[in-house]
Structure 1
Amino acid sequence: METQLEQIREQQKASWNNFSPGWKKWDELMMDFLKPMGTEIIKQIDPQGEDIVLDIAAGTGEPGLTIAAMIPKGKVIITDLSDNMLAIALENANKKGLSNVEIKACDVCELPFEDNTFDKISCRFGFMFFPDMQLAANEMVRVLKPGGKIATSVWNGPEKNFWITAAGATINRNMQIEPPAQGAPGMFRCATPGIIASIFKQAGLKVVDEKEVTGLLKVETADTYWTMMTEVAAPFVAALKQADEAMKSKIKTEVYELLQQQYPDGKVEIPSSAQVIFGTK
């Protein structure tokens, strides 16, 4: 892997390790928020029987743990760059009494598995952050058995994801932060229609299709939204660390005002939009 891509990978690994306590704290809320996308991924790969399933960039364990519960005679290998996130995944697996789950820290661009190992592969919200998306897709297809299925999800654009932009755009505007360069890892990197489908086809998948899936972030209050986003969103935290107290206060006030305008009754439930892309080897 090129030096630049290795640097991105190491930076991301350090970041996810660093923010794992926040993800553990907010795991129940976030997993409820992301469940519709996981449900659609599971529907498209259709795990059953004695399938061996690979869940990539699984973070705290989903949708891999749900898949494992569906196929007690099968097996799920849950992978992520971050050892700390995987520790939470293992804890969650143990809480659910799942004995058919294996945890493996690895990089999707260098998967430590033989060719044609897995019946199904899931990857919920990983592609946006992979240093080389085509290499990642190629590796997934390499370890997938002929006839096997892959499904992934990515976020649609900012206009459909106020849950990100309420805080993110406010921080960027106040601190004059430039958006990531085109093609660089980021939340909206894969929002262009067809980008992942094209990557999948180039990797050798067939019968590739995509479907929009919506979710609802049920934070209920502006306080919960602000606290959660500043404990799990690494880019937001990094930016706010560069701000003085007056700037932080201004940004927070403006975010609260945005939420008040959008949810005048004070009940903050923010819709989201993602694309689930799937194909067959």
Structure 2
Amino acid sequence: MTTSFDPIVFKRTTRAQWEDAAEAWHRWGPTIEDWLGEATDAMLRAADISKDDRVLDVAAGAGGQTLAAARLVGSGGSVLATDISPTILEYAARVATEAGLSNVETLEADGENLSALEEGRYDAAISRVGLIYFPDQQAALTGIHRALRPGGKFSAAVYSTPDRNGFFSIPVGIIRRRAELPPPVPGQPGPFSLGGPGVAEKAYSAAGFRDITVTTVPSPVRLPSAAECVRFERESFGALHQMLSRLDEDGRAAAWQEITEQLAQFDGPQGFAGPCEMLIVTGTR
């Protein structure tokens, strides 16, 4: 089966899926921070965020990295968290308030269109596993570049290649086969769209960034069991929900059963350790 990619439909369904998954992504927050904590720290260091900085967080989600950035900049700085999903931003605002952070603002915005933001306003920009899902990554990168002051840095955490990310690539492969989805082509959004050698560097360079660096951060997903990882993905991974929409209820159930069986290979005496490798890609305006 072959289908043409429609970026408008993709974006609309992405927003709808993240509206649905927002509560679960928030609820799984502690697991997400355990999993992505090291990559997040590396991203914030690479963006050179410091006291009193103004930071832009693109595709912020429920805001774990937003809070970390807000703590770094202190009361004299600020963080603007943007996302296409207003519901998930409500959770980001809530956790900021609960953490006693008054320097976080949220803005519902399409990451591919940041023209409403003042040019050169931000000292740094970040995006954690968000940029990969933009249909027009070049538009997003160009907009982020414009929003930064000269010398400001943008750092994004993205997945590397499928073979290094079995916890995610195995479910993606199973669903893609069962839903008869065509293989992704270069330039299409998806979890591994920026993971290939040189791909992210080329995209950053085309948007005007310089001094581009890529750092690898092993980020295994550690949970009590493969079944718990499947519950995590089933409840909160909007990308998988989007792919599964092609299947009926029985088809979805069968897909999750196969995913559970395949991910069980990563169970061990110490629990589940799903392979995951993040890349921290950074460029300077």
Match of 2:149 among 142, 145, 150: 145
CA distance in 1 between partners of 2:230 and 2:8 (Å): 32
Give the TM-score, by structure 1 length.
Answer: 0.91
Answering whether residue 178 of structure 2 is matched by residue 179 of structure 1, we say no
Q: Which amino acid aligns with 1:182?
A: P
Answering whether residue 105 of structure 2 is matched by residue 102 of structure 1, we say yes
Shift of 1:46: 1.8
| Structure 1 unaligned blocks of 5 or more | none
2:209 and 2:284 in contact (8 A); partners too: yes
Q: How high is the sequence identity, in percent, across the aligned residues?
A: 27
Query: Following TM superposition, where does structure 1 have runs of at least 4 consecutive aligned residues deviating by more than 6 angstroms?
Result: none
1:260 and 1:266 in contact (8 A); partners too: no
Pairs within 5 Å for 1:187-266: 187-240=191-244, 242-245=247-250, 247-248=251-252, 250-265=254-269
Post-superposition Cα deviations, 1:178-209, rounded to whole Å, max 9, x if no partner, equal 33333221111112222221121122221111
Partner in structure 1 of residue 44 of structure 2: 42
Task: Note closer, same or farther for the CA distance 1:213–1:172 as it changes in structure 2 (3 Å cut).
Answer: same
Task: Note closer, same or farther for the CA distance 1:264–1:184 as it changes in structure 2 (3 Å cut).
Answer: same
Give the TM-score, by structure 2 length.
Answer: 0.90
SS at match of 1:108: coil
Partner in structure 2 of residue 125 of structure 1: 129
CA distance in 1 between partners of 2:12 and 2:257 (Å): 34
Deviates more, 1:113-122 or 1:103-112: 103-112
Q: Which amino acid aligns with 1:152?
A: A
Task: Note closer, same or farther for the CA distance 1:250–1:8 as it changes in structure 2 (3 Å cut).
Answer: closer
Q: Which amino acid aligns with 2:230?
A: W
CA RMSD of aligned residues (A): 2.0
2:17 and 2:241 in contact (8 A); partners too: no
CA distance in 2 between partners of 1:5 and 1:240 (Å): 18
Shift of 1:250: 4.3
| Structure 2 unaligned blocks of 5 or more | 1-5
Answering whether residue 284 of structure 2 is matched by residue 280 of structure 1, we say yes
Task: Note closer, same or farther for the CA distance 1:171–1:66 as it changes in structure 2 (3 Å cut).
Answer: same
SS at match of 1:69: helix
1:221 and 1:266 in contact (8 A); partners too: no
